[in-house]
């Protein structure tokens, strides 16, 4: 066994269909665990408000409910995590919300974490029945919550992203299945209960 010379981040992935509450829960749980909440969707929503050619491209892709190309997504994510590590060394880990979404992103995350002697520690799957998700998304009213874009996002999730969960299970990584069809606070309590042991005793980079 090799000695750890510096504290490493706990890396947790949040999975679930569109509208399951990944962002809401990551926001609530991150401060409790002293983790960063990294949402590629939020990062893209910030980028698309800029006035650049990339912004226009990202806006069109998001409004259609398609996935932004892997190269763009991975570069953005890595730059953001490195920035966070430097700016907030007190954090103990990262909650990845909405990433990875494709096999190529899984491989890129492996390489990125591997280069830091880290790995994916756990996966949280927030499950909500389809008939509950649709009204939730339509009520939310985001620019990409049109019936057409919602349909595309569901299909992409089922085809490209849901199989990734099986891949992480096959590797023996803990996948915590949480009932997302409960009150927000109840879901939060379940997620915190599932993840607290991982973060307990974890030193931050700043200590
Ligand atoms: P979200 O906020 O996670 O629902 O993401 C909103 C939109 O951002 C998605 O429908 C995609 O267009 C884009 N997006 C977010 N994360 C990714 C990702 N990991 N790969 C590709 N596109 C993404």
pLDDT tens column, 63-73: 999 999 999 99
How far is the CA of 66 from the CAs of 35, 57, 123, in angstroms?
Answer: 28, 11, 23
- pLDDT for res 203: 77
Q: Which of 21, 37, 39, 41 to mutate to test the pocket of ligand 1 (most atoms within 8 A of CB)?
A: 41
- Segment 16-35 shows an average pLDDT of 97
Residues 6+ away with beta carbon under 8 Å from 71:
none
Note the pTM of the prediction, 2 decimals: 0.95
- pLDDT for res 76: 98
Ligand 1 pocket, residue 15 CB under 6 Å: no
Ligand 1 pocket, residue 59 CB under 6 Å: no
pLDDT tens column, 128-176: 999 999 999 999 989 999 999 999 999 999 999 999 999 999 999 999 9
DSSP H helices, 88-183, are 103-114, 130-140, 147-156, 162-170
- pLDDT for res 8: 85
pLDDT tens column, 159-169: 999 999 999 99
Q: What is residue 62's three-state secondary structure? A: helix
Ligand 1 pocket, residue 73 CB under 6 Å: yes
Does residue 3 surpass a pLDDT of 60?
A: no
Ligand 1: centre distance to CA 74 (Å): 12
- pLDDT for res 6: 56
């Amino acid at each position: 066994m090799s000695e750890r010379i510096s504290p490493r981040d706990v890396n947790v992935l949040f999975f679930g269909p569109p509208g399951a509450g990944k962002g809401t829960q990551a926001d609530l749980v991150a401060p409790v665990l002293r983790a960063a909440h990294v949402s590629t969707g939020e990062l893209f929503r910030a980028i698309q408000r800029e006035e650049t050619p990339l912004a226009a491209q990202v806006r069109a892709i998001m409004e259609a409910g398609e996935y932004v190309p892997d190269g763009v997504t991975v570069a953005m994510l890595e730059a953001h995590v490195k920035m966070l590590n430097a700016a907030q060394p007190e954090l103990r880990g990262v909650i990845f919300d909405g990433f990875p979404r494709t096999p190529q992103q899984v491989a890129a995350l492996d390489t990125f974490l591997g280069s830091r002697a880290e790995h994916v520690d756990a996966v949280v799957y927030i499950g909500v029945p389809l008939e509950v998700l649709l009204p939730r998304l339509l009520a939310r009213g985001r620019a990409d919550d049109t019936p057409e874009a919602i349909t595309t996002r569901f299909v992409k999730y089922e085809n490209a992203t849901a199989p990734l969960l099986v891949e992480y299970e096959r590797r023996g990584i803990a996948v915590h299945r949480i009932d997302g069809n409960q009150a927000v606070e109840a879901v939060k309590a379940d997620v915190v209960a599932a993840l607290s042991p991982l973060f307990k005793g974890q030193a931050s980079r700043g200590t």
